[in-house]
Structure 1
Amino acid sequence: MTTKPSVAVLDYGSGNVHSAVRALERSGADVELTQDVDAVLNADGLVVPGVGAFAAVMDALNAIEAPRWIGRRIAGSRPVLGICVGHQVLFERGVEHGIAADGMAEWPGEVTALPRDVVVPHMGWNTVRPPEDSTLFRGIENERFYFVHSYAVQSWDFDQSIGAIPPPKVTWSHHGADFIAAVENGPLSATQFHPEKSGDAGMQLLRNWITSL
């Protein structure tokens, strides 16, 4: 009998987590919605969801010491997947309505407002431009994914010369300007869009991630 990979979905008060739990279960994982530190650290994979404002999500994560747990997983090469604001907080900083808040700084970059000359929030289906060697987007490179956001990281300045570690794989999309739609960086991956709301393509992305655990 094949054992399903275990996935912990971090429960820190973020809304709309149950759709992510159901999508992960349908994609082949044994899923637990939890903030228990042992479950978070020991699951095969950890999903960090997020909806709402950058600063509020960081406050909620800090309240349960989640950045420390996430950092321990990454240091131990234990897979983590961030979704939507759970993607944004992995960057250095977020600025919303003139209020700046520090993120986890796993990657360089600032989350800022999308251009004013387009409709925001960016809500609906959009294409992405993944790198050829993407694991997350294997077999779904030309599909569309579902976005709901008004802020994004719109530039990438990563020092590719650091050590012998392979550079992160960055996927882009466009809404008024290019913005980062996903990053794959060793054990740490994240998507600006919602795979759990992205139909068959989103399910395949989750399966690709779960298969890599």
Structure 2
Amino acid sequence: MKVTIIDYNAGNVQSVLFALQRLGVEAALSSDPETIRSADKVIFPGVGEANTTMGYLRERGLDEVIRGLEQPVLGICLGMQLLCAHSEENDTECLGIIPQQVVRFKPKEGEKIPHMGWNSIYNLDPALFSPELEKEYVYFVHSYFVESGPYTIATTDYVQPFSAALRKGNFMATQFHPEKSGAAGAAILQQFLNL
């Protein structure tokens, strides 16, 4: 199985590579369109700022490469947000694959932004989550989120309920970091690899 991680200067690439290695998978890290298109599975990770990242993708034509992918694709954190239509983060037009909006948390008193730490996920879709992961804890770091909607395949609560994961067709995505989420995260990555 050929797994490619899209290389676009995202901050969490090494931890994703290591998480896959722990599962016995040697993934390629590449920004080459043909390498990405020919992969069996594609991972679109991300830590960073939406507008700068979208600019980087457009300059290299990677936005069109990603939109055209037909194999299973997993977006992680910023990667999930960039799969959506628009982000409030610097008023960014995103890839538009999942027609959802990315909005900034509006915390109440005592609630800190960014949302950072372990939260449980629930209402899990079996496409990406085995039933025993219901209410398991996974690791989040983010200031922007996607509200629950028709493409939500997992939910979590911080400030309000929101999408912990999304899916549209072959595109799946998690707001949390499966590569930093211990056994639960490893199980989610393995289920993605098994698709």
TM-score, L = length of structure 2: 0.92
Which secondary structure does the structure 2 equivalent of 1:202 belong to?
helix
RMSD, aligned CA:
1.4
Task: Specify the code of the residue in structure 1 equivalent to 2:84.
Answer: F
Residue 122 (1) aligns with residue 115 (2): yes
CA distance in 1, matches of 2:22, 2:169: 24
Partner residue in 2 for 1:186:
169
Shift of 1:170: 2.2
**Is 1:27 paired with 2:23?**
yes
CA drift of 1:130 comes to 3.0
CA offsets per residue over residues 54-89 of structure 1, 9 Å max, x none? Answer: 11221122122112111221xxx3111100000001
Residue 54 of structure 2: aligned partner: 58
Structure 2 contact 148–155 (Cα < 8 Å) conserved: no
Deviation at 1:25, TM superposition (A): 2.1
Shift of 1:147: 0.1
Letter in 2 for 1:61: L
1:10-21 equivalences under 5 Å are 10-21=6-17
% of aligned pairs identical? 36
TM-score by length of 1: 0.85
Q: Does 1:108 align with 2:91?
A: no
How far has the Cα of 1:24 moved from its partner? 1.5
- Stretches of 4+ moved more than 3 A in 1? none
Structure 2: tracts of 5 or more residues without a match: none
C-alpha distance in 1, partners of 2:121/2:20? 21
Q: Contact 1:134–1:169 at 8 Å: present in 2 too?
A: no
| Matched positions, count | 192
SS at match of 2:42: strand
Q: Deviations over 1:147-166 (max 9, x none)?
A: 0001101242x5xxxxxxxx
- Please name the residue that 1:210 is paired with: 193
